[in-house]
Amino acid sequence: MTQQQTAGGDVRLTGISKTYGSFTAVHPLDLTVPQGSFFALLGASGCGKTTTLRMIAGLEDATTGTVSLGGRDITGLPPYKRPVNTVFQSYALFPHLDVSENIAFGLRRRGIRSVKKQVGEMLDLVQLGDFARRKPHRLSGGQQQRVAVARALINHPQVLLLDEPLGALDLKLRRRMQLELKRIQTEVGITFIHVTHDQEEAMTMADTVAVMNGGRVEQLGAPADLYENPRTTFVANFLGTSNLIGSEIVSMGTDVVVSAGGGKLRLPGGRCPSTARSGEKLLVGVRPEKISLTRTDDAAAIPDGRNRIAGRITDSSFLGVSTQYVVESRSGTVLQVYEQNIERDSRLVPGAEVVLHWNPEHTFGLDADQSVHAGAAGAEGLEEAA
């Protein structure tokens, strides 16, 4: 096993796909997960992320393509011959075995007799030392989840696959387990591939996130990179919230100038899709927390060179750390703004005339040929509601 690890354990998917009858769950997909990384497959339910994971585990046969691990093709291997282990969504703990026997299951199957020491170490790692003789049904959800992780990790797999392992836990526990899993991953240094529909979870835990949609990978990158530079409206909306404004390109240079709703906006040329041409349409995006709000009366104080849009506040909600404003621009576009609650201007109430302004550097451009609402159907369905 150690020998395999030193040989380099990148997971490489080549042209892998899965079809059920006429339904394509996963379109041919190429993906490389470097050894030792924490990789997240993020997407809404039914986007093919779990199917992809199950193909790596061997629980699902790939229709086309290959899975290789550290250069070794494992596509044809049954699950019990693959050096990968899975933490299942429902944990799938064996109800007739106690915690320590659940954890020892994989070792025993490989003919290892003296499991006591390793099981003890694993119980310590997941902080369940006192529960070794309990049956799974006498554990809480969080404890069961930790048993499931320990049961997989004890085998020192080359890759640990996590299939929405935190989905069944309440919010507080989920946050704690996220940090816990991250700690364990750093400690053991095994490649983790984590499937989740929770964008926050993916961003807090993973080094690299692949956003999946409709059986395809939309974009792949570090969480901050995906957040700041979404390449599709789906990614822009699925990861956090984005304000997307329809516009037309006026001129192109180091800065691109577009006209939107009667005004002019600027954005860096490097943040535009390479297909953008002068005179064509472009979706201009900006994250809500990048925007500042100033009352129209005080607009003279706004420094030059910032992008501006005038509008009226239609709604505001106090969120504690910040306040969320919904602003309707003169041309009718609905925009969201998050203002930090440092010095709250008490005159910023629904009905107030305001100017939204932000640094042009924070503006990104997207191909206008896609739906503005893609990926926004989740919790942040404000655009649909408006």
Partner 1 sequence: MSVTEAPPAPPARAGARKPSIRRRLVPYWLLLPGILWLLVFFALPMVYQASTSVQTGSLEKGFEVTWHFRTYWDALAGYYPQFIRSLLYAGTATLLCLLLGYPLAYLIAFKAGRWRNLVLVLVVAPFFTSFLIRTLAWKTILADGGAVVDVLSTLHVLDVTAWLGWTENNRVLATPMAVVCGLTYNFLPFMILPLYTSLERIDGRLHEAAGDLYATPATTFRKVTLPLSMPGVVSGTLLTFIPASGDYVNAELLGSTDTKMVGSVIQSQFLRVLDYPTAAALSFILMAVVLLVVTVHIRRSGTEDLV
- Residues 122-161: x where in contact with partner 1 by CB under 8 A, - otherwise, as a string: --------x-xx-x-x-------------xx--x------
Q: Applying CB under 8 A, does 166 fall inside the site for partner 1?
A: no
Judged by beta carbon, residue 83 or residue 223, the one nearer partner 1 is 83
The rounded distance, in Å, linking the Cα atoms of 232 and 242 is 11
The rounded distance, in Å, linking the Cα atoms of 291 and 286 is 8
Q: Is 318 exposed, middle or buried (0-12, 13-18, 19+ CB in 10 A)?
A: exposed
Stretch that binds partner 1, among 36-44, 89-97, 265-273, 274-282 (CB under 8 A): 89-97
- Taking each helix axis as running N to C, give the angle between helix 116-125 and helix 99-109, from 0 to 180 degrees, rounded to the nearest 10: 130
Query: Minimal distance in Å, beta carbon 9 to partner 1?
Result: 18
Q: Which of 345, 227, 239 is nearest to 292 (CA)?
A: 345
Question: How many residues touch partner 1 (CB under 8 A)?
Answer: 29
Contacts of 20 (CB under 8 A, 6+ apart): none
Judged by beta carbon, residue 30 or residue 124, the one nearer partner 1 is 124
Query: Minimal distance in Å, beta carbon 3 to partner 1?
Result: 18
Judged by beta carbon, residue 94 or residue 318, the one nearer partner 1 is 94
Stretch that binds partner 1, among 80-88, 196-204, 265-273, 291-299 (CB under 8 A): 80-88
Q: Applying CB under 8 A, does 113 fall inside the site for partner 1?
A: no
Site for partner 1 in 43-72 (CB under 8 A): 57-59
The rounded distance, in Å, linking the Cα atoms of 250 and 87 is 52
List 17, 35, 51, 85, residue binding partner 1 (CB under 8 A): 85
| Tokens describing residue 333 | 């576009």
Judged by beta carbon, residue 105 or residue 359, the one nearer partner 1 is 105
The rounded distance, in Å, linking the Cα atoms of 74 and 57 is 10
Judged by beta carbon, residue 12 or residue 82, the one nearer partner 1 is 82
Q: Applying CB under 8 A, does 88 fall inside the site for partner 1?
A: yes
- DSSP H helices, the chain, are 2-6, 49-57, 99-109, 116-125, 141-153, 171-188, 199-205, 223-228, 233-238, 382-385
Q: Which of 53, 82, 58 is nearest to 69 (CA)?
A: 82
Instruction: Decide if 271 contacts 236 (C-beta within 8 A).
Output: no
List 46, 78, 189, 378, residue binding partner 1 (CB under 8 A): 78
Q: Applying CB under 8 A, does 305 fall inside the site for partner 1?
A: no
Query: Minimal distance in Å, beta carbon 158 to partner 1?
Result: 13
Stretch that binds partner 1, among 2-10, 16-24, 74-82, 215-223 (CB under 8 A): 74-82
The rounded distance, in Å, linking the Cα atoms of 2 and 23 is 40
Task: Taking the CA atoms of 222, 225, 231 and 237 in sequence, report the sign of the dihedral they define.
Answer: positive
List 92, 188, 250, 299, residue binding partner 1 (CB under 8 A): 92
Judged by beta carbon, residue 125 or residue 337, the one nearer partner 1 is 125
List 15, 79, 270, 350, residue binding partner 1 (CB under 8 A): 79
The rounded distance, in Å, linking the Cα atoms of 209 and 73 is 24
Stretch that binds partner 1, among 28-36, 40-48, 101-109, 281-289 (CB under 8 A): 101-109
Task: Taking the CA atoms of 46, 48, 51 and 56 in sequence, report the sign of the dihedral they define.
Answer: negative
Stretch that binds partner 1, among 93-101, 203-211, 251-259, 341-349 (CB under 8 A): 93-101
Instruction: Decide if 132 contacts 123 (C-beta within 8 A).
Output: yes
Residues that bind partner 1 (CB under 8 A): 57-59, 78-81, 84-86, 88, 90, 92-96, 105-106, 109-110, 130, 132-133, 135, 137, 151-152, 155
